[in-house]
Structure 1
Amino acid sequence: MVWGSVSQNHQTELVVIAGNFNSVRLQGRPPPSLQAHPDMTLQHDDATMHTARSVHDMNVSVLPWPAKSPDLNPIEHIWDLSDRRVRAIPPRNVQELQGALVEEWGNISQQELASLVQSMRRRFTGVLNATGGHTRY
């Protein structure tokens, strides 16, 4: 499991987490990326781990996001990009995988981040025009 966050002008370090990461493991503490940047607004997918009371008690600003909505979070594209880059030279074990993920995370350019964040208006417009149906995003 890994945790990282991005914005148009910033990306946090990628944190590798051994085992499952759930609301119990959070123990009322925001992940390191949110601790370092308390002014960030978290956009998440409404997974149970993200919506648990212990997460709400952390006083983290969360973007309102409707249930069963299209997944338009730009970080999904970052995960996909990282996955494709890591698979180009497949790691042989967990340690190599962790190292490759951290390395590729660090290789994501500021231009790529800005482009993804700036594409949000087009993504939202596409979903609205498709009345929630399939889009190219």
Structure 2
Amino acid sequence: MVWGGVSQHHRTELVVIAGNLNAVRYREDILFPHVVPFLQAHPDMTLQHDNATSHTARSVRDFLQDRIVSVLPWPAKSPDLNPIEYVWDLLDRRVKARAIPPEISENLQVPWWKSGRA
């Protein structure tokens, strides 16, 4: 699994997550090291995440509230209008279009400018 964040003018680093993402891992591996610093650097932004169980757990909501993170209300079972889905689609198409497709996930983690491939 890969996690990333985008806005109109900014992006986070991509974070590779091995295994399942539960509320504790979301809070400790994504929110604390990546989202909170990103939002502190861009205080006018609002966090948008979907209604995945790991995103809506009480511990996650409390964590975000304690850090005064503005979260966009996201109704359950809403149509997917999350802009990151366009980024994932583009990334998927670019990976599939590689002349030599990666065979293992570690090959996806090497930045393209270090891999010698475009």
TM-score tier after normalising by the smaller chain length: 0.7 to 0.9
TM-score by length of 2: 0.74
What amino acid maps onto 2:21 in structure 1? F
Instruction: Kindly state the Cα deviation for residue 28 of structure 1 after the two structures are TM-superposed.
Output: 6.0
Q: Distance in 1 between matches of 2:52 and 2:32?
A: 16
Compared CA separation, residues 50 and 27, structure 1 to 2 (3 A): closer
Instruction: Kindly state the Cα deviation for residue 26 of structure 1 after the two structures are TM-superposed.
Output: 3.6
Instruction: Kindly state the Cα deviation for residue 93 of structure 1 after the two structures are TM-superposed.
Output: 1.1
String of CA shifts for 1:39-88, please: whole Å, max 9, x gaps: 33111221111100111011232101111111011100000000110111
TM-score by length of 1: 0.65
Partner of 2:33: 32
Instruction: Kindly state the Cα deviation for residue 19 of structure 1 after the two structures are TM-superposed.
Output: 2.1
Flag structure 2 segments of 5+ consecutive residues without an equivalent: 114-118
Q: Distance in 1 between matches of 2:27 and 2:87?
A: 27
Q: Distance in 1 between matches of 2:33 and 2:87?
A: 19
Partner of 1:56: 61
Structure 2 SS opposite 1:57: helix
Identity across aligned pairs (percent)? 64
Q: Are 2:46 and 1:45 aligned?
A: no
What amino acid maps onto 1:52 in structure 2? A
Partner of 2:90: 81
Q: Are 2:94 and 1:93 aligned?
A: no
Q: Distance in 1 between matches of 2:13 and 2:28?
A: 21
RMSD: 2.1
What amino acid maps onto 1:85 in structure 2? R
What amino acid maps onto 2:94 in structure 1? R
The answer as to whether partners of 2:49 and 2:55 remain within 8 angstroms in 1 is: yes
Compared CA separation, residues 78 and 27, structure 1 to 2 (3 A): closer
Compared CA separation, residues 88 and 28, structure 1 to 2 (3 A): closer
Compared CA separation, residues 63 and 80, structure 1 to 2 (3 A): same
Task: Specify which structure has the bigger relative contact order, considering alpha-carbon pairs within 8 angstroms and separated by 6 or more residues.
Answer: 1
The answer as to whether partners of 2:26 and 2:55 remain within 8 angstroms in 1 is: no
The answer as to whether partners of 2:27 and 2:63 remain within 8 angstroms in 1 is: no
Structure 1 residue ranges, 4+ long, deviating more than 4 angstroms after superposition: none
